[in-house]
Amino acid sequence: MPTPPTPPTGATAPRAPKPSRRRVLATMAAALPAASLPVLSSRASAAPAAAAALPGGGDLGPNVLVFDPATPNIQGKLDEIFKKQESAQFGNGRYALLFKPGTYNGLNAQIGFYTAIAGLGLSPDDTTFNGDVTVDAGWFNGNATQNFWRSAENLALRPVNGTNRWAVAQAAPFRRMHVKGGLNLAPDGYGWASGGYIADSRIDGTVSPYSQQQWYTRDSSVGGWNNAVWNMVFSGVEGAPAQSFPNPPYTTLDTTPVSREKPFLYLDGADYKVFLPEKRTNARGTTWGNGTPRGESLPLGQFYVAKPGVDAATLNAALSQGLNLLLTPGIYHVDRAIEVQRANTVVLGLGYATIVPDDGVTALKVADVDGVRLAGFLIDAGPVNSATLLEVGPEGSSASHAANPTTVQDVFLRIGGAGPGKATTSMVINSNHTIVDHTWVWRADHGDGVGWETNRADYGVRVNGDDVLATGLFVEHFNKYDVEWRGERGRTVFFQNEKAYDAPNQAAVQNGNIKGYAAYKIAEGVTTHEGWGLGSYCFYNVDPTIRQDHGFEAPNKPGVNLHDLLVVSLGGKGQYEHVINGIGDPTTGTSTVPSTVVSYP
């Protein structure tokens, strides 16, 4: 692997990524113990006359903490929340920390599990910290590979020592941030780390990933980038390193084919609104660097502000009456699918609002309509098997949404970990032109309710729609295919995968005459597909003799083109025979050196 840069004076040299990543130390990660009537625009239909209208707007609930520069003892409140959430990996706490526009001095906001911090301005520079927003791994002995489910958005930071630390793993987006200094993506002591995702952000100084195994940065600006371990991918990033995979393993696209930034809550004077950024094609750089971002705003009165305890029938009634959904922090059990039927509907979660489907239902279904935006929530499988957890478009969807696609952003799916969970296929994308922008779809490898059959989940993401784009696709540990792509003209920019650790033996993963199910399979009938910066790792710790024929499987057709592929055996626990189909050298030994293919076919 590439040699990490020399650490700062007095620092310990960065370690190579830990072979076992999470499982070996999993036992350390146990969780601690005046609404107004809706104001409807042409985007929303009128409520049925026979139904009692649900109110739009209202307060944001007890777990949304709103600060302004005059709020007393802000640091004390931040520390109080962090103490609750620092090691509560599978706890029930959910928090959003929101800061009104202004300048805040001397803060260090340490961000734990299920905690989102965000500014309430229209631009990140409206809300400035002369201080830090920090993620470290002291709770886990300096190992950052389990720093999941947290986020920072829409803030400007002037770090106290010149460099902000954001040592995260999966499901921890850094969006719409302005760092007036450097950004360190490694934990104190340069321990293991497995992230991550940056979008629509400007880092004036250098980004230093050190021990980060992989990272994806989209539509941003950086002052420099220090090193790479296995897989660093950039699209539309000003200042990104030049294309050089595999040595160093930089995959660099000048632009992002299509992007539309995540919706966000902001204050317009004293009124809360949700900003909906416009779609960009061939995007490069931030949306906000040249002044007011382009898009439209919806007043909070056009949202049903949901609180934990509300049932699916009420959420569906709000949707059918023409309201959007704002899910405040907490856990929502649903006994039927949340049904999004109307074009341009927004479902926005705050503070890692979590939807749990009961009795084997699907958590959320979207009709085959234009412009739906799903953002900022977690779906946690229940103990009764769900056929699916999230469906974008019904089976057989055929409409074109090229002008106004549906977006799925910072929507994370989990099977097991917080308790037994099962789902046959976690995320199904049937609608054409859907953009999946940063997801982590995870069959748990540690926590409660974990075992080959206990949290059975055969398929992670299945794409049936055409012209679907994934930017930042993290999918791990499924019993069969992690990603199965059946639609035409699909594209993926950055893919990170681990095969299931807990396969009991070779027979359990045998796929006919193929050893192991591919992490990323493109169906034989597909004629056009393209991907950049795709990685799969294996760690078969129950039976280290398991062989995996390949990480990637694709038809050999002129229109199917994949760039910068790698497979890695973590510590020699299982091995890959090839990278894609029968192409690429086998992995060997225990050194976690990737086998790579620069271009397929």
Q: Which of 86, 153, 391, 498 is catalytic?
A: 498
Handedness of CA 565, 472, 184, 19 (dihedral sign): negative
Q: Which amino acid is at 324?
A: N
Cα separation, 334 vs 310, in Å, equals 9
592: left (phi over 0), alpha (psi -120 to 50) or beta: left
- Catalytic annotation present for 498: yes
Q: Are 439 and 471 in contact (CB under 8 A)?
A: no
Q: Are 255 and 283 in contact (CB under 8 A)?
A: yes
| Residues with Cβ within 8 Å of residue 39, at least 6 apart in sequence | 56, 299, 301, 302
Q: How many CB atoms lie within 10 A of CB 19?
A: 19
Helix ranges, 350-431 (H) = none
Helix ranges, 205-339 (H) = 312-320
> How buried is residue 558: exposed, middle or buried, by Cβ count under 10 Å (0-12/13-18/19+)?
exposed
Handedness of CA 304, 308, 314, 320 (dihedral sign): positive
Cα separation, 287 vs 304, in Å, equals 28
Token pair, residue 460, equals 């992670």
> How buried is residue 188: exposed, middle or buried, by Cβ count under 10 Å (0-12/13-18/19+)?
middle
Q: Are 577 and 586 in contact (CB under 8 A)?
A: yes
Q: Are 483 and 517 in contact (CB under 8 A)?
A: no
Cα separation, 229 vs 32, in Å, equals 32
Calculated CA dihedral for residues 244, 481, 511, 384, nearest 10 degrees: 160
Cα separation, 461 vs 554, in Å, equals 16
Kindly list the catalytic residues: 498
